[in-house]
Amino acid sequence: MTHCVLCPRECGADRLHKEAGACGTDAKIHAALAYLHRWEEPCLTGKNGSGTVFFTGCSLGCIFCQNHEIAHRQGQTLSGAARDVALSPQALSDAFLSLQEKGAANINLVTAAHQLPAVLPALTLARKKGLTIPYVYNSSGYEKAPALRALEKIVDIYLPDMKFFSPELSRKYANAPDYFSVASAAIDEMVRQQPKTVFAEDEANAEGTAPAMLRGVIVRLLVLPGFADDAKRILSYLYSRYGNDICYSILNQYTPMPATASDPFLSRALTETEYDEVTDYAISLGIENGFVQEGETVSESFIPAFDGEGLTSPSAPCTPDI
């Protein structure tokens, strides 16, 4: 933490003494919300919602980030009304247990990569305290495979994005020309740890609840307006490598953000034609384990209020032994 090379940015920042580096965080756990999120894939949402913890800061920093209020964290404060809560591993494990008590289908860790050394003890501590539901590791895909190895036998479901195929696009929109090579190596590691998708057998019922996912990998692909071809290249790559051993979630919910207002492509929503082109292509490849979105999903209503719900600052020191 005094010379951080945790993620592919390898900033070498001193995070033990201050908030620093491209992720903008120090060595503590920082989060903005822990609640039952009802807008994940049906196999993750279940009857009551996915027990989702949104961590603040991000080492990727896409300009179109839907969670930009908490992701672009340079300095002490978040933008808008978002609230940052510093947590000890003990307090975070308590938040997980509270979500389980509320009926969460799983514990869904959103963008925890840059906080892994502090978050890991919370994951094992919660198991010791009685957490039984799966851990979902929800990731930008921009992760070092060696760091992911620390999650082996801990994380049950990996939920990475695959955002860009083209280095030009990832350079332009995330300042990460190496995104595809990094993310493809990360997904390889995730699939190595969870090579098959496993669903609960008794969950599908007359209410239409989807079977709960217990283990496996779901790769998310947010189709960007103007870049259907890039999305198709991603699908072609993933299917040629993993076939139907993984699940594919093809999203049409791209919502223009203030930072994309002047971009010739990203200042608008995706068209139905563009989305259909990508989903038709997925079907033509032979993808069967897929999720698609129907109807109008372009809305900031998918973005929750990051008001610190479900998180309590501890009286004990926040920084774990690292």
Q: Which residues bind ligand SF4 (CB under 6 A)?
A: 4-7, 9-11, 13, 15, 21-23, 59, 114
Secondary structure (DSSP) of 44-55: HHTTT-EEEEEE
List the structure tokens of 27. Answer: 């060595």
Q: 167-174 vs 179-193: helix axis angle to the nearest 10?
A: 100
CA nearest to 160, candidates 139, 191, 183, 189: 139
Largest Cα–Cα separation, the chain: 56
In the 8-state DSSP scheme, what is residue 190? H
Whose Cβ is closer to ligand SF4: residue 18's or residue 38's? 18
Whose Cβ is closer to ligand SF4: residue 11's or residue 303's? 11
CA atoms within 13 A on the CB side of 47: 8
Whose Cβ is closer to ligand SF4: residue 45's or residue 59's? 59
CB of 144 to ligand SF4, least distance (A): 9
CB of 224 to ligand SF4, least distance (A): 23
CB of 67 to ligand SF4, least distance (A): 16
Whose Cβ is closer to ligand SF4: residue 4's or residue 155's? 4
CB of 181 to ligand SF4, least distance (A): 16
Q: Cβ–Cβ contacts within 10 Å for residue 315, how many? A: 7
Whose Cβ is closer to ligand SF4: residue 6's or residue 53's? 6
8 Cβ partners below 8 Å, 6+ apart?
A: 59, 142, 143, 144, 176, 178, 182
Q: Where are the beta strands (DSSP E) in 38-171?
A: 50-55, 85-87, 107-110, 135-139, 157-160
CB of 160 to ligand SF4, least distance (A): 16
CA nearest to 193, candidates 158, 235, 159, 237: 158
CA nearest to 67, candidates 262, 255, 309, 311: 255
Whose Cβ is closer to ligand SF4: residue 11's or residue 120's? 11
